[in-house]
């Protein structure tokens, strides 16, 4: 059985992530159609996965105890990274949730004596951040042009750099830089 502080920190983090995800989806849907609609869908899905990691780590089963540390490490790294990236919109509650998950992670690590377990946690955290960056890179350029009319915009990439796009009657043109 885990400590009460770990349970409370995890449950509060889970509630914050779920509430943020629900409000984010509501706000995005209220804005109407967007050629880059896949980015918010990715963010909403990523938040759902982070919430699932926090929730599954709370399950009091021996099978889960083995992977609890990596799951919390991935959730903490993912939430803190997304929180900093989205600092001007939904970032603050995600940083708070990531901090609470880090508290739970730190208390979990005291019970973890295996070097392999700590390495698995580091690998899970790096994988969560890599998935976040890859998701932004892929969905940012996955532009859906309207069949008629025009649309244009710009985007930035963490790895590939900035770009601009134009949609004219369903035809997409992308320029780097």
Tell whether the model's pLDDT for residue 75 goes beyond 80: yes
- What confidence tier does 110 reach under pLDDT thresholds 50, 70, 90? low
Q: How confident is the model at residue 91 (pLDDT cuts 50, 70, 90)?
A: very high
**Reported confidence tier of residue 115, pLDDT bands at 50, 70, 90:** confident
Please report, for the chain, the start and end positions of each structural domain, with discontinuous segments joined by +: 4-142, 144-177
Mean pLDDT of the chain: 92
The domain at 4-142 falls in which architecture? Up-down Bundle (1.20)
DSSP bridge partners of 166: 152, 173
The band of 146, judged by pLDDT with boundaries at 50, 70 and 90, is confident
């Amino acid at each position: 059985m885990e400590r009460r502080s770990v349970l409370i920190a995890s449950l509060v983090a889970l509630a914050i992530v779920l509430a943020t995800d629900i409000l984010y989806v509501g706000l995005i849907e209220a804005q109407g159609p967007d050629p880059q609609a896949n980015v918010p869908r990715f963010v909403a899905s990523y938040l759902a996965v982070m919430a699932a990691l926090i929730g599954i780590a709370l399950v009091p089963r021996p099978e889960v105890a083995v992977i609890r540390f990596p799951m919390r490490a991935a959730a903490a790294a993912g939430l803190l990274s997304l929180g900093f990236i989205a600092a001007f919109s939904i970032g603050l509650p995600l940083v708070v949730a990531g901090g609470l998950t880090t508290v739970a992670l730190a208390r979990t690590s005291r019970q973890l004596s295996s070097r392999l377990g700590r390495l698995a946690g580091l690998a899970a955290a790096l994988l969560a951040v890599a998935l976040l960056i890859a998701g932004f890179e892929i969905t940012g350029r996955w532009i859906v042009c309207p069949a008629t009319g025009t649309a244009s915009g710009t985007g930035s990439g963490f790895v590939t750099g900035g770009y601009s796009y134009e949609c004219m009657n369903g035809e997409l043109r992308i320029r780097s830089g």
